[in-house]
């Protein structure tokens, strides 16, 4: 049952986050924070043949921040880098059943962390 302003999907991803943790020697990783609320999300990627074969995240933040990072990892697992780059904060919020206006920045943070982790991977692999 939905709690307060959150959908059942947000509550589920908050209480049972998918892909939480870290990947040792990740192929790409990035940490993004939101100075307004103090939330921080870190995303770790394992990539093989241009495809995300594993993804983990760590988030310090509210329910919406944790749910947004969890949903983002679910949406990109198994996808190519180009497909993953098409995952927007709007898509994450939609898949979560919507976010309150005051919490949309949480899905933006997840999108930015994902993009930064892919950029990190590309920088490392270009070396």
Active site residues: 37, 106
Q: Could you tell me what percentage of the chain is helix, strand and coil, using 3-state DSSP and rounding each to the nearest 5?
A: 45, 20, 30
114 pairs with which residues across the strands? none
| b/e sequence 21-51, b meaning 16+ C-beta within 10 Å | eebeebbbbbebbbeebebbbbbbbbbeeee
H or E segment to which residue 42 belongs? strand 40-48
């Amino acid at each position: 049952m939905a709690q307060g302003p959150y959908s059942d999907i947000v509550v589920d991803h908050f209480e049972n986050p998918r892909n939480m943790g870290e990947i040792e020697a990740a192929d790409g990783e990035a940490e993004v924070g939101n100075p307004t609320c103090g939330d921080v999300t870190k995303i770790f990627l394992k990539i093989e043949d241009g495809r995300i074969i594993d993804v983990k995240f760590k988030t310090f933040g509210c329910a919406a921040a944790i749910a947004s990072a969890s949903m983002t990892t679910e949406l990109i697992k198994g996808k190519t880098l180009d497909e993953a780059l098409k995952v927007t904060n709007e898509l994450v919020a939609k898949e979560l059943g919507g976010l309150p206006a005051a919490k949309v920045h949480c899905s933006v943070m997840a999108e930015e962390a994902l993009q930064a982790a892919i950029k990190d991977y590309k920088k490392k692999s270009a070396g």
